[in-house]
Chain A
Amino acid sequence: GIQVEQSPPDLILQEGANSTLRCNFSDSVNNLQWFHQNPWGQLINLFYIPSGTKQNGRLSATTVATERYSLLYISSSQTTDSGVYFCAVRDRETSGSRLTFGEGTQLTVNP
Chain B
Amino acid sequence: GAVVSQHPSWVICKSGTSVKIECRSLDFQATTMFWYRQFPKQSLMLMATSNEGSKATYEQGVEKDKFLINHASLTLSTLTVTSAHPEDSSFYICSAGAGGFGNSPLHFGNGTRLTVT
By the criterion CB–CB under 8 Å, are A98 and B49 in contact?
A: yes
Q: Which of A17-67 contact B (CB under 8 A)?
A: 30-31, 33, 35, 40-43, 45, 48
Pick from B61-69, B70-78, B102-110 the stretch touching chain A. Answer: B102-110
Majority-rule SS of B interface residues: strand
Cα distance A104–B43 when bound, in Å? 7
Shortest Cβ distance from B28 into chain A, in angstroms? 15
Per-residue interface assignment for chain B, residues 71 to 108, with 1 indicating a CB less than 8 Å from any chain A CB and 0 otherwise: 00000000000000000000101010000011111111
By the criterion CB–CB under 8 Å, are A43 and B105 in contact?
A: no
Shortest Cβ distance from A90 into chain B, in angstroms? 7
**With A96-B32, A103-B43 given, is the CB distance from A48 to B104 under 8 Å?**
yes
Residue of B nearest to A48 (CB): B105
Q: Which of B28-42 contact A (CB under 8 A)?
A: 32, 34, 38, 42
Chain A residues within 8 Å of B, Cβ to Cβ: 30-31, 33, 35, 40-43, 45, 48, 86, 88, 90, 92, 95-104
Q: A31-B104, A42-B110, A99-B46 are in contact. List 10 more A-B contacts (CB 8 A).
A: A31-B105, A31-B106, A40-B110, A41-B38, A43-B111, A88-B106, A95-B101, A98-B49, A99-B34, A99-B106
